Amino acid sequence: MPDVTLLNISRSIEVPDGQTILSAALDAGIDYPHGCKSGRCGNCKSRLASGEVELPDHSRFALPPDERDGGLILACRAVPKGPVSVFWLEEENEAAIYPHRDMEAEVTGAALLTHDILRLRLRADGAALRFAPGQYATLALPGVPARDYSMANLPSADELEFHIRRVPNGRTSTAIHERLRVGDRLHVSGPRGSAHLRTGHTGPVLAVAGGSGLAPILSILESAVAQGMRQPLRVYVGGRDEPDLYGLERLAELAARHGDMTVTPVLSSPTAPTARRTGFVHAAVRADLANLDGWKCYTAGPPVMTDALTEVVLAKGLKRDDLHADVFFTPETVIDTGGITATG
């Protein structure tokens, strides 16, 4: 088992063969900065100070070739080939102040928001879970793999709220929809993730949600409004058809309170005539917004949406560090070792 030294915290961990640096660090309870866990967002970008890693597929937005040649790696993709030492890139990381906890929780509500998205409410034993808006927790119930779900509530709320889309043939999302009832108990660990609200930012904000990706976006927007962030908020919500949209009343109420917040629902495949915008949500952003230099963009949803949006917003001048993305899918457990080798 290769040893990895995490220079930021002067600590060494063992990384089981074939496992990535990020997953070993998270398993060891370390708050390693990350977002998508799949080589798409760049939040886990780190400097390889010594040693060699395999670096399978990742998007060039997360790690462009010049940065890779310059000694940077993505911890969520990097599989050590021997002892290595790494330094994660420091950034504004308010989330690090909220310690990761393991806890039991009771289901206090389970109700459908759409035909395939369930709103699950949980009350954690002991103190309420503290987190930064946009972060997620890992839910574990017996017999199915633990999975990550983003909090949709204000961090000050007593109960946790999750929006869980039932993925066709998905093991955990199906079990949550079919099995969980009020009074049931499950294991929760968190908070995690660095795609959280940056409260120090004063420029405009673009927020783009696809499907249940609205969960962290709601938490971010409600917190921004509650904290008096007055800059323009431009919100896009994508769905296939009218029955896939939800949360619009909650967004309209926020927009009324804020004063400079617009909400644009976009349907990609409407089956009936509609007054809504149609097409892909990233195309609506491309058509509506000119220059995103100085903006922040928060986005969550399926990989196809976040990938397309990433391309659009970076082409419009958004700085890579101003993109905070959560990609809703199950990170691969089998690592393709046919990728690039990086050396430090």
Ligand X SMILES: Cc1cc2nc3c(=O)[nH]c(=O)nc-3n(C[C@H](O)[C@H](O)[C@H](O)COP(=O)(O)OP(=O)(O)OC[C@H]3O[C@@H](n4cnc5c(N)ncnc54)[C@H](O)[C@@H]3O)c2cc1C
**Where on the chain is the footprint of ligand X (CB under 6 A)?**
37, 136, 145, 147-150, 162-165, 167, 169-174, 193, 212, 215, 302, 326, 328-331
Cα–Cα dist 72/100, whole Å? 26
Closer to ligand X at the Cβ: 22 or 289? Answer: 22
**Minimal distance, residue 66 CB to ligand X, in Å:** 27
Closer to ligand X at the Cβ: 164 or 225? Answer: 164
Closer to ligand X at the Cβ: 48 or 280? Answer: 280
Closer to ligand X at the Cβ: 2 or 301? Answer: 301
| HSE-CB for 307 with a 13 A CA cutoff | 11
Instruction: Rule CB under 6 A: choose which of 15, 26, 55, 62 binds ligand FES.
Output: 62
Closer to ligand X at the Cβ: 14 or 178? Answer: 178
Position with the least CB separation from ligand X: 170
Q: Which of 169, 179, 165 is nearest to 107 (CA)?
A: 179
Cα–Cα dist 299/207, whole Å? 6
216 lies in the binding site for ligand FES (CB under 6 A)? no
b/e map 319-338, b = 16+ CB within 10 Å: ebebbbbbbbbeeeeebeee
* Number of Cβ within a 10 Å radius of residue 98: 18
Cα–Cα dist 234/285, whole Å? 9
**Minimal distance, residue 149 CB to ligand X, in Å:** 4
173 lies in the binding site for ligand FES (CB under 6 A)? no
22-51 residues in contact with ligand FES (CB under 6 A) are: 34-37, 39-44
Closer to ligand FES at the Cβ: 36 or 84? Answer: 36
67-86 residues in contact with ligand FES (CB under 6 A) are: 74, 76
Angle between helices 248-258 and 214-226 (to 10 degrees): 20
**Minimal distance, residue 81 CB to ligand X, in Å:** 26
The whole-angstrom distance between residue 189's C-alpha and the CA centroid of its chain comes to 15
Q: What is the DSSP letter of 151?
A: B
299 lies in the binding site for ligand FES (CB under 6 A)? no
Closer to ligand FES at the Cβ: 32 or 131? Answer: 32
b/e map 43-79, b = 16+ CB within 10 Å: bbbbbbeebbbbbbebbebbbeeebbeeebbbbbbbb
What are the backbone angles phi and psi of residue 124, rounded to the nearest 5°? -75, 145
| HSE-CB for 168 with a 13 A CA cutoff | 0
196 lies in the binding site for ligand FES (CB under 6 A)? no
**Partner touching 42 among ligand FES, ligand X, none, CB below 5 to 8 Å by kind:** ligand FES
Please give the residue ranges that form the binding site for ligand FES (CB under 6 A).
34-37, 39-44, 62, 74, 76
